[in-house]
Structure 1
Amino acid sequence: MEGMNYPELVQTVLARHTESHLAKGTEIQLIFDNQKNHYLVIHLGWEGEKRTYGSVIHIDIINGKIWIQCDFTEEGVANELVELGVPKTDIVLGFRSPHVRQFTGFASV
């Protein structure tokens, strides 16, 4: 959509996910590569003797579209972006197989 700053919108949405009620010893980190348009929310730390590490959200911006590569949030990052005015045709659910994307209501590529 004309005039929308997708990197800024993605960073705003991801920043909301740092406010978490995680167990003691764990944290959420935001990792932004603004030059290559890669954006991550990482969960890491310790829960007792068990190491915790992984991507909670991974988004890339590719050819003007927002690709959601990984999303382990309850509300869904795609829905949050739509609420901010991003058209569904500019959001690709990259975690869905290519032949299923056409049925999601979002962009297929």
Structure 2
Amino acid sequence: MEKLTHYQNLIKQILTEYERISSQFPDDDIDEVLIFDDTRSQYLWFNIGWKQGKRVNAISVYVRIKNDKIYIEEDWTEAGIATDLLSKGVPKEDIVLAFYDPETRELTEFAIG
């Protein structure tokens, strides 16, 4: 349970920092939203609004914790949240690049799932 709480707090810290940096360049038409669900261990950073008459609904990062591993489901950050997780001490075998199919994950240095 301690590992789960630690991972939850790390993810929230990283996503909060991403949102803080991004909010330094605001767009009045687009809202940046952070959703933290510790009960289900799901964490989301996304943009929503309207721009030039078109709906904007874009996930920047979606991460969840499953079977004591951090599953990165979506990540449109420049360096990648996996880089930040590694720098905070999360081992590669606890990070799953879930946006890749299982066969491609075998070719990475991260966990398969």
TM-score by length of 2: 0.88
Partner of 2:88: 84
Between 1:58-67 and 1:24-33, the stretch displaced more is 24-33
> Once superposed, what is the RMSD of the aligned Cα atoms?
1.5
Superposition deviation, residue 77 in structure 1: 0.4
Superposition deviation, residue 24 in structure 1: 2.6
Contact persistence 1:24–1:47 (CA under 8 A) = no
Superposition deviation, residue 17 in structure 1: 1.6
Partner of 1:64: 68
For residues 13 and 30 of structure 1, what CA distance do their matches in structure 2 show?
11
List alignment gaps of at least 5 residues for structure 2.
none
Partner of 2:40: 36
Runs of 4+ in 1 over 6 A off after TM superposition: none
Q: How does 1:1-109 map to 2 (within 5 A)?
A: 5-19=6-20, 20=22, 21-109=25-113
Q: What percentage of residue pairs aligned between the two structures are identical?
A: 37
TM-score by length of 1: 0.91
For residues 68 and 6 of structure 2, what CA distance do their matches in structure 1 show?
10
Q: Which amino acid aligns with 1:83?
A: S
Instruction: Indicate the SS of the match to 2:12.
Output: helix
Aligned residues: 108
Superposition deviation, residue 66 in structure 1: 0.2
Between 1:82-91 and 1:23-32, the stretch displaced more is 23-32
For residues 50 and 41 of structure 2, what CA distance do their matches in structure 1 show?
29
List alignment gaps of at least 5 residues for structure 1.
none
Relative to its length, the structure with more helix (as a share) is 2
For residues 50 and 11 of structure 1, what CA distance do their matches in structure 2 show?
30
Q: Which amino acid aligns with 2:53?
A: E
